[in-house]
């Protein structure tokens, strides 16, 4: 039922055992050759209609934490293959319209990204209004610190960094050797810019990554007293972190911090 599904979403967003970074919302669809099809044909199961699914997701978007990104809404399955369920591929658009009719907007990461706000809503961030904000929450027996660069006046997200204070159960030797924090993700939004080139209006190249990184180091050093910070870095971004004094440390990169 809708009530049970909403309760599950509430549990996911509030229970520290869950609290995901990102989610995909896929209403169950009835397709031939599946168990759900058998249940449907026997009258034992009825999927959400498009209208019901839209109403449910509207309520989910109202409760979504600002540090969660809704990656996708509805699977991209050809309508002729769907026996019952949501048959419209623009479900997210229908949800956004219902929110708008109520004078509301989704505040997930995707809906606040600078590029999305510009294309979907025609809203441009004001560089003079960009602030560095910090949101803290417990998750997986550790502490998560969501550091973001935002134009709070226009509700535009420029970029963010996920910093974790690991739990005592963290088992990697690079973490257990001494108290440290871990940068799990650093992301600055904007148009794609080729490596070695710059676009005058590209937000990725206005220094916000360095600002977020510096704030993560400050929090680690001053608020927790740790002398070490780790970063989970993809191969293509290791050179970026090297510029800020990070060196290889097992599968991570790390940096010594002065207290």
- CATH number, position 199: 3.40.630.30
* Residues 82 and 140 both lie in one domain: no
Together in a domain, 160 and 247: yes
Are residues 147 and 225 located together in one domain of the fold? Answer: yes
Residue 244's domain spans which residues?
125-256
pLDDT attached to residue 74: 86
pLDDT value at 221 more than 60:
yes
d(CA 229, CA 238): 15
Q: Are residues 205 and 249 in the same domain?
A: yes
Residue 241 placed within a domain: yes
Q: Which residue has the higher pLDDT, 131 or 196?
A: 131
- pLDDT, position 188: 93
pLDDT tens digits along 189-214: 875 455 555 554 555 557 899 999 99
Mean pLDDT of the chain: 90
State how far the Cα of 107 lies from the Cα of 65, in Å rounded to an integer.
7
Same domain as 175, residue 197:
yes
Angle between helices 2-14 and 50-63 (to 10 degrees): 30
> How far apart (Å, rounded) are the C-alpha atoms in residues 88 and 77?
10
CA distance 124 to 151: 9
pLDDT band at 172, cuts 50/70/90? very high
> Is a pLDDT exceeding 60 seen at residue 144?
yes
Token pair 């970074």 in the structure block, residue: 21
Please say which residue of 65, 88, 112 terminates a domain.
112
Residue 137 lies in a domain: yes
**The pLDDT value given to residue 42:** 94
If asked whether residues 138 and 242 sit together in one domain, one would say yes
pLDDT of residue 31: 95
Counting every residue, how long is the chain? 259
- Start-to-end CA distance of the chain, whole Å, equals 53
The tally of domains found in the chain comes to 2
Of 95-99, 100-104, 203-207, minimum mean pLDDT range = 203-207
Tell me the pLDDT band of 51, cut-offs 50, 70 and 90. Answer: very high
For residues 20 and 99, state if they share a domain: yes
In this structure, what token pair is assigned to residue 20? Answer: 């995901």
The predicted model scores a pTM of 0.87
The mean-pLDDT minimum among 66-80, 122-136, 168-182, 198-212 falls in: 198-212
Above pLDDT 70, what percent of the chain? 94
* Burial classification of residue 161, based on how many CB atoms lie within 10 Å of its CB (0-12 exposed, 13-18 middle, 19 or more buried): buried
Q: Which one, of 16, 126, 33, 29, lies nearest residue 73 by Cα?
A: 29
For residue 201, report the phi and psi dihedrals to the nearest 5 degrees: -105, 15
What six digits make up the tokens of 142?
A: 């550790």
Is 66 part of a structural domain of the chain? yes
Q: Does a structural domain hold residue 179?
A: yes
Do 137 and 34 share a structural domain? no
């Amino acid at each position: 039922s809708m009530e049970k599904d909403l309760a599950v979403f509430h549990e996911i967003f509030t229970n520290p055992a869950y609290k995901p970074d990102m989610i995909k919302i896929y209403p169950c669809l009835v397709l031939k050759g599946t168990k759900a099809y058998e249940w449907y044909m026997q009258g034992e199961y009825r999927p959400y209609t498009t209208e019901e699914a839209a109403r449910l997701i509207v309520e989910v978007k109202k409760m979504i934490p600002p540090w969660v990104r809704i990656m996708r809404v509805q699977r991209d399955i050809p309508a002729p293959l769907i026996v019952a369920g949501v048959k419209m591929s623009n479900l997210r658009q229908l949800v956004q319209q219902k929110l708008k009719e109520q004078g509301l907007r989704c505040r997930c990461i995707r809906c606040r990204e600078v590029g999305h706000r510009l294309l979907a809503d025609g809203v441009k961030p004001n560089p003079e209004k960009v602030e560095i904000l910090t949101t803290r929450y417990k998750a997986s027996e550790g502490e998560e610190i969501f550091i973001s660069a935002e134009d709070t006046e226009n509700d535009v997200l420029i970029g963010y960094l996920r910093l974790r204070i690991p739990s005592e159960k963290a088992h990697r030797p690079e973490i257990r050797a001494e108290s440290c924090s871990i940068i799990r993700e650093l992301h600055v939004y904007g148009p794609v810019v080729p490596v070695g080139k710059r676009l005058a209006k590209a937000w990725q190249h206005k220094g916000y990554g360095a600002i977020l990184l510096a704030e993560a180091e400050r929090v680690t050093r001053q608020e927790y007293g740790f002398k070490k910070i780790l970063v989970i870095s993809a191969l293509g971004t290791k050179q970026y972190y090297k510029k800020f004094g990070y060196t290889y440390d097992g599968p991570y990169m790390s940096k010594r911090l002065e207290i």
